[in-house]
Amino acid sequence: MKRSFLALGLLTTVLVLSSCRNETETKEVVREVRVEKVKEVEKEPERKGILERTAEKVDKEVNKEVDEEIEKIGNDN
């Protein structure tokens, strides 16, 4: 009798413990994706800051004055 209760108890324990386990299956999915590269469009020239624009104006004025002085020197001969 002891053996039958022991066997029944052991069998019940095994069934309870094995049925509680959730076995999950994992799948590895590999996807290939095509990527198209977009050609870079010509960018607009970078906008210049106020200092750069002012410097260009000053350079033009200085170049005009230098050219006038060169002409004066050249005309003296």
Q: What is the pLDDT along the chain (77 residues), one digit of tens a residue?
A: 888 889 999 888 877 777 555 667 788 888 888 888 877 767 666 788 889 989 999 999 999 999 998 888 876 55
For 16, the enclosing helix (H) or strand (E) is helix 2-20
pLDDT of the residue at 23: 65
Q: Output the DSSP codes for 13-73.
A: HHHHHHHH---------------PPPPPPPPPPPPPPHHHHHHHHHHHHHHHHHHHHHHHH
Q: Write the CB contacts of 56 (distance below 8 Å, at least 6 apart in sequence).
A: 48
Pull the structure tokens for residue 66. 């230098």
Break the chain into its structural domains and give their ranges.
Answer: 49-77
pTM: 0.36
